[in-house]
Chain A
Amino acid sequence: MAELQLTRADFEPLHTDQEIHSLSRPSLSYWQDAWIRLKANTRALFSLYLVIALLAFTLVGPLFWTVDPAAQDVDQISLPPFADRDARIVSPYEPWNGSSVLPVGEGLRLADTPTSEAVRLVWDPVAGATSYSVYRSRYPTGDDRALGLPLIDLYGSASTTFEDRLDLSPRTYYYSLLAYDGAGNELDFQTLTVEVNRVITAESAVERGLIAAPDDVQIGDVIFMPLHPLGTDYLGRDMLARLMHGARVSLFIGIAAPFLYVLFGVVYGSTAGFIGGQTDQLLMRFADFVVALPFLLFMILFKIAFGIGPGESGIFPMLVALVLLSWPATSRLVRGQILQIRQEGYINASRLLGAANGYLVLRHMIPNTMGVILVTLTFAVPSAIFTEAFLSFIGMGVAPPTPSWGSMCNEGIKTMLTTPHELIFPALFISITVLAFNLLGDGLRDALDARMRSVE
């Protein structure tokens, strides 16, 4: 065994090495760290951009697309996107008493050029007929006698003209004429195929801003109707403009209400859960009470309490009602989590180290419940949007003509077979919003989760 030679130098204190410290990462705060992790998450980042894009669509969009969302155009109702827009200029509509010269030909025929303003039909009297019925269909009439819409029943053998003005759009129509005798027996059945073109008067072209003065165009000229990139709704209003303005209501209700009531719920629930005992009991019973209040009834009450007069959209009372009536679910959830976390070892450890209550809540409890809170929040967004839609559904939503995505969906559902764009666009926007908030919530959850710190 060799002798151990100790020198004095061996007992010298080790000198402090500055270099090692410079190798370590800069100290990151909780939020800085969360932001770094959020940035690393492509899905979350994408959804963040999506949310920004939605906000831009809402706030900046109307500056570029300046069409009035309330402007109706009864000549362009329920137009699909990028529909054909040409219209021929005609002289203003004159009522027709059927007395014009009978055009040549026989049987059921046209008395005038068919336009989207009116289709004028004449026919030769059928011997013995005392009444006539006129039908119109969008599909060829066949042996099954599916004649389409019953337009009119005319009584008297002398009625041999009819002017159809009902909801004409530029397409092919199939007219049928039935003649009956006094006993109701069918005597004759004639059909006529009519091609209708869109027309517009010079005055209404000026009104729409398509031309400067009525003299700029001649009768028979073809001009283009206003462009509606996403089509129009049931009153001929521009869908794009309505979606932009509807976003204001939907996003405001959809973001502000959940944010406020989740915030309130978190504060309320964590207070109850943290303090516990009698206070907890009292607070939770109050939450039970609020949850059991009938939403609809109190919604009406708030509407009146806030003095919603005619013409006001009623967004604010809706917001207040939502916040006042929706927080208990979040508060129960947070309380449950806090009760659970309160028992954890690290809370006791922190308490032993002298942590104050406020510190415990803010530093340990809230971050640890962040996951659940964010999921609640992201789900509260669509549910608030839907509450607004549901209220529109039963007639208590925002007042017309203020649009909202929910009420647009509501209107669109009725026409989903014939003009699906009226449902698809608002539904798509709701879906995109919800998707964006969900992904963002996911990303935030991962980023804010205290246990995931510096994992990636």
Chain B
Amino acid sequence: MSTVITSDDSFTSAAGRQLLIFAALAISGITLLMLGLSWASSRTGAASGSNNAVDPVTNTLTVFLREEPPQLDSSKATDTVSGSVLGHVVEGLLRYDEHNQIAPGVAESWDIRADGATFRLRENARWSDGRPVTADDFVFAWQTALDPANASEYAFILYPVKNGEAINAGELPLEELGAVAVDDRTLEVTFERPLAYFDKLVTFSTYYPIRRDFYQSVKGAFGADANRILYNGPFVISRWVHGASLKMDRNPYYWNPDRAKLQTIDFAYITSDANASLNLFKDDKIAYTTLLAENLDDAMQQRWHIHRFMDGGVFYIEFNHRPGRLTGNHHLRKAMQLATESAELVYKVTKLPGYLPGESLFPVWLKGVHGFFREEYPANYPHMDLEQARRHLEKAKQELGLKVIPPLVLLSGDNPVSNIQAEYYQQIFRKHLGLDLKIDKQIFKQRLAKMLSGDFDLVLAGWGPDYDDPLTFGDLFASWNLNNRGRYDNPELDRWVRVAQDEQDVQKRMDAFGEIQRILIEDAVILPGYERGVTYVTNPQMKGMVRRAVGPDPDFSNAWIVD
């Protein structure tokens, strides 16, 4: 019988002993192997700190980065993570301070006129190799960003400087740029056309200085590694292990020795996994983390101190207004507008305390003439009214000559937040209007490709501010704007956008924005969803962390540790 052998006790015990020896060998082998691998990995230089979140002895703060900065070349940076890191280590002419007010940076005084600006650079502004920051460093940086060969995506933000656009198109040489170093400490800027918000623009990272000789010495790899950047901010990057960690130390050459209070900021982890960062916070390894709606109960139970802030972004459903699309019909859009209630989305579906129900394209934090724009120009967004919505739907059917509206395509991203929203809207329109929505879930670049080609009826979209002026939102639906993905084309709106761009008088500009807001709501160009908020927890020993909607966020450059 074949099974006899296994039931043979002497055989089993002998074999068992063999296996025991095998196991012992295996374990010792693994131990040796791990020691070897550990040595090998230490050779690659990737080591996460095992520091606690705050260390008063070494004056070190340990935090995390949501993503690896794609590069720290300020002329090419486009994302918020790079913006946050660069904000600690490089300083522009002007900056936002801890109260989010414009404050002097490298420039100690400035004069902004309708046709240009003059910046006077401070004498003691130094690069991290001890040499002074000069006006030429700014001229070079701006020319670099506009250089067609450099192909910077954010070159457009320099178009307000005279000849910027022409240089970027390769029509004029770099030297024709309307920014001139009069001497080492004076920068003279000429505008392409009158401009009211240049002081806010120069805080942006594309306007940061880059030193010519250094840039040329790293041969196209500027910003790729810690030793391939020159710093002039309150901190310098002392170590950057790609994908793993990024460490900053106080910059001894920074002109204001009182600003940085921490010795070291250690971005010891790079993770976008919300659970991982929550666990790290729980383990006292990082000093702050962002909370998702799912983590709120846990955070309350842990008795953490929860904070919130508005990150400035506005999220909405954008309709496709291209000819031939059903969503080009005004009544259909009105029907959908009156069938939704953004409060329900925010209070029941996204469930985060930082979120605000959306009513307008213009977020609540934008400043108007004297106070807040939205207080001076209330949105008056219509409440949900199903009866009227159905009436609009009937009209839409008549106009379109359809008995039933065929299913509409809702283009959506692949992240959980947009998934939930897409599913929510799908159900809402089915329930309230009997409209069928088909969700087209696409990964990032494919969603963008579809948005560009207009392959959608509705799309979940959003917009974050580039600079602190309503125009960063206001020109979005101008017929010429490339980010007007739904190709909304309304001459009346275009006219108001031009007023907002060219007008110098604040009151008249704000009136124009008020008109734009009215048109967007009356014509149901978009369905506002929410203004995004961020809910986060901090270590009680860390003070002075700054969050902001425009500018580097989060900002630890003013933070300190209390015992």
Are any A and B Cβ atoms less than 8 Å apart in their complex? yes
Chain A positions near chain B (C-beta within 8 angstroms): 70-72, 74-75, 77, 95, 137-139, 142, 144-151, 165-167, 207, 234-235, 300, 309-312, 394-396, 399-401, 411, 413-415, 417-418, 451-452, 455
* Distance to closest chain A CB from B217 (angstroms): 37
Are the C-beta atoms of B439 and A415 separated by less than 8 Å?
no
Q: Does B441 contact A (CB under 8 A)?
A: yes
Q: Does B300 contact A (CB under 8 A)?
A: yes
- Give the residue of B303, B343, B344, B346 whose beta carbon is less than 8 angstroms from that of A139: B303
Contacts A234-B420, A235-B420, A309-B438 given; does A396 touch B414 at CB 8 Å: yes
- What residues of B have a CB within 8 angstroms of the CB of A311 in the complex? 407, 409, 438-440
Contacts A234-B420, A310-B409, A311-B407 given; does A166 touch B303 at CB 8 Å: no
Are the C-beta atoms of A411 and B416 separated by less than 8 Å?
yes
14 contacts between A and B (CB under 8 A): A95-B383, A139-B300, A144-B303, A147-B305, A166-B353, A167-B293, A167-B348, A309-B438, A311-B407, A399-B439, A400-B426, A400-B441, A401-B427, A411-B416
Are the C-beta atoms of B1 and A150 separated by less than 8 Å?
no
Q: Does B294 contact A (CB under 8 A)?
A: yes
Q: Does B2 contact A (CB under 8 A)?
A: yes
Are the C-beta atoms of B351 and A166 separated by less than 8 Å?
yes
Are the C-beta atoms of A455 and B300 separated by less than 8 Å?
no
Q: Does B50 contact A (CB under 8 A)?
A: no
Are the C-beta atoms of A418 and B298 separated by less than 8 Å?
yes
Interface residues of B, CB < 8 Å — how many? 52
Are the C-beta atoms of B308 and A150 separated by less than 8 Å?
yes
Per the 8 Å Cβ criterion, residues 420-464 of B in contact with A are: 420, 422-424, 426-427, 431, 438-441, 443, 446
Q: Does B195 contact A (CB under 8 A)?
A: no
Chain B's closest residue to A77 (CB) is B348
Q: Does B546 contact A (CB under 8 A)?
A: no
Supplied contacts A149-B535, A167-B293, 11 more A-B pairs, CB within 8 Å: A70-B426, A77-B348, A145-B305, A150-B353, A166-B351, A309-B438, A394-B414, A395-B443, A399-B441, A414-B292, A415-B294
* Distance to closest chain A CB from B348 (angstroms): 4
Are the C-beta atoms of B422 and A400 separated by less than 8 Å?
yes
Alpha-carbon separation in the docked complex, A312 to B407 (Å): 12
- What residues of B have a CB within 8 angstroms of the CB of A401 in the complex? 423, 426-427, 439
Chain B's closest residue to A414 (CB) is B294
Contacts A139-B301, A311-B409, A414-B275 given; does A452 touch B294 at CB 8 Å: no
Chain A's closest residue to B383 (CB) is A95
* Distance to closest chain A CB from B389 (angstroms): 15
- What residues of A have a CB within 8 angstroms of the CB of B135 in the complex? none
- Give the residue of B3, B298, B422, B423 whose beta carbon is less than 8 angstroms from that of A417: B298
- Give the residue of B292, B353, B423 whose beta carbon is less than 8 angstroms from that of A235: B423
* Distance to closest chain B CB from A189 (angstroms): 14
Contacts A149-B296, A311-B439 given; does A455 touch B1 at CB 8 Å: yes
Are the C-beta atoms of B297 and A418 separated by less than 8 Å?
yes
Alpha-carbon separation in the docked complex, A399 to B410 (Å): 12
Are the C-beta atoms of B423 and A148 separated by less than 8 Å?
no
Are the C-beta atoms of B424 and A72 separated by less than 8 Å?
yes
Alpha-carbon separation in the docked complex, A145 to B307 (Å): 13
Are the C-beta atoms of A149 and B440 separated by less than 8 Å?
no
Are the C-beta atoms of A455 and B275 separated by less than 8 Å?
no
Contacts A138-B297, A138-B300, A310-B440 given; does A414 touch B353 at CB 8 Å: no
Q: Does B182 contact A (CB under 8 A)?
A: no
Q: Does B347 contact A (CB under 8 A)?
A: yes
Q: Does B377 contact A (CB under 8 A)?
A: no
* Distance to closest chain A CB from B380 (angstroms): 13
- What residues of A have a CB within 8 angstroms of the CB of B300 in the complex? 137-139, 146, 148-149
Alpha-carbon separation in the docked complex, A70 to B347 (Å): 20
Q: Does B256 contact A (CB under 8 A)?
A: no
Alpha-carbon separation in the docked complex, A165 to B344 (Å): 9
Chain B's closest residue to A151 (CB) is B353
Q: Does B107 contact A (CB under 8 A)?
A: no
Could you say which of A142, A151, A234, A312 has the most chain B C-beta atoms within 10 Å of its C-beta? A234
The dominant DSSP class at the A interface is: loop
Chain B's closest residue to A166 (CB) is B347
Alpha-carbon separation in the docked complex, A218 to B239 (Å): 69
- What residues of A have a CB within 8 angstroms of the CB of B298 in the complex? 417-418
A-contact bits for B379-411, CB 8 A (1 contact / 0 none): 000010000000000000000000000010111
Q: Does B472 contact A (CB under 8 A)?
A: no
- What residues of A have a CB within 8 angstroms of the CB of B294 in the complex? 234, 414-415, 418
A-contact bits for B266-278, CB 8 A (1 contact / 0 none): 0000000011000
- What residues of B have a CB within 8 angstroms of the CB of A312 in the complex? 438
Q: Does B198 contact A (CB under 8 A)?
A: no
Are the C-beta atoms of B297 and A146 separated by less than 8 Å?
no
Are the C-beta atoms of A150 and B307 separated by less than 8 Å?
yes
- What residues of B have a CB within 8 angstroms of the CB of A166 in the complex? 346-347, 351, 353
Q: Does B349 contact A (CB under 8 A)?
A: yes
Chain A's closest residue to B415 (CB) is A395
- Give the residue of B304, B351, B413, B414 whose beta carbon is less than 8 angstroms from that of A146: B304
Are the C-beta atoms of B420 and A310 separated by less than 8 Å?
no
Alpha-carbon separation in the docked complex, A235 to B300 (Å): 22
- What residues of B have a CB within 8 angstroms of the CB of A95 in the complex? 383
Q: Does B12 contact A (CB under 8 A)?
A: no
Alpha-carbon separation in the docked complex, A395 to B348 (Å): 23
Are the C-beta atoms of A150 and B306 separated by less than 8 Å?
yes
Per the 8 Å Cβ criterion, residues 316-347 of B in contact with A are: 343-344, 346-347
- What residues of B have a CB within 8 angstroms of the CB of A146 in the complex? 300, 303-305
Q: Ordered nearest first, which 7 A-B pairs have the shortest CB separation? A: A395-B414, A311-B438, A310-B440, A146-B303, A74-B348, A310-B438, A167-B351
- Give the residue of B274, B297, B306, B431 whose beta carbon is less than 8 angstroms from that of A414: B274
Contacts A150-B306, A414-B275, A417-B298 given; does A74 touch B423 at CB 8 Å: no
* Distance to closest chain A CB from B191 (angstroms): 36
Alpha-carbon separation in the docked complex, A17 to B390 (Å): 93
Alpha-carbon separation in the docked complex, A311 to B416 (Å): 17
- What residues of B have a CB within 8 angstroms of the CB of A167 in the complex? 293, 347-348, 351
- What residues of B have a CB within 8 angstroms of the CB of A235 in the complex? 349, 420, 423-424, 427
Chain A's closest residue to B533 (CB) is A150
Alpha-carbon separation in the docked complex, A75 to B308 (Å): 25
* Distance to closest chain A CB from B558 (angstroms): 16
Q: Does B481 contact A (CB under 8 A)?
A: no
Alpha-carbon separation in the docked complex, A144 to B351 (Å): 25
Alpha-carbon separation in the docked complex, A81 to B294 (Å): 18
Alpha-carbon separation in the docked complex, A417 to B535 (Å): 18
Could you say which of A70, A72, A395 has the most chain B C-beta atoms within 10 Å of its C-beta? A395
Alpha-carbon separation in the docked complex, A312 to B431 (Å): 20
Alpha-carbon separation in the docked complex, A144 to B301 (Å): 13
Alpha-carbon separation in the docked complex, A109 to B308 (Å): 24
A-contact bits for B347-375, CB 8 A (1 contact / 0 none): 11101010000000000000000000000
Chain A's closest residue to B409 (CB) is A310
- What residues of A have a CB within 8 angstroms of the CB of B410 in the complex? 310
Are the C-beta atoms of B303 and A455 separated by less than 8 Å?
no
- What residues of A have a CB within 8 angstroms of the CB of B353 in the complex? 149-151, 166
- What residues of A have a CB within 8 angstroms of the CB of B414 in the complex? 394-396
Chain A's closest residue to B298 (CB) is A417
Could you say which of A312, A400, A452, A455 has the most chain B C-beta atoms within 10 Å of its C-beta? A400
Q: Does B124 contact A (CB under 8 A)?
A: no
- What residues of B have a CB within 8 angstroms of the CB of A150 in the complex? 306-308, 353, 535
Chain B's closest residue to A398 (CB) is B441
- What residues of A have a CB within 8 angstroms of the CB of B303 in the complex? 139, 142, 144, 146
- What residues of B have a CB within 8 angstroms of the CB of A455 in the complex? 1-3
Q: Does B419 contact A (CB under 8 A)?
A: yes
Per the 8 Å Cβ criterion, residues 273-299 of B in contact with A are: 274-275, 292-298
Are the C-beta atoms of B438 and A165 separated by less than 8 Å?
no
Alpha-carbon separation in the docked complex, A365 to B414 (Å): 46
Are the C-beta atoms of A148 and B306 separated by less than 8 Å?
yes
* Distance to closest chain A CB from B211 (angstroms): 40
- What residues of A have a CB within 8 angstroms of the CB of B383 in the complex? 95
Chain A's closest residue to B293 (CB) is A167
* Distance to closest chain A CB from B327 (angstroms): 14
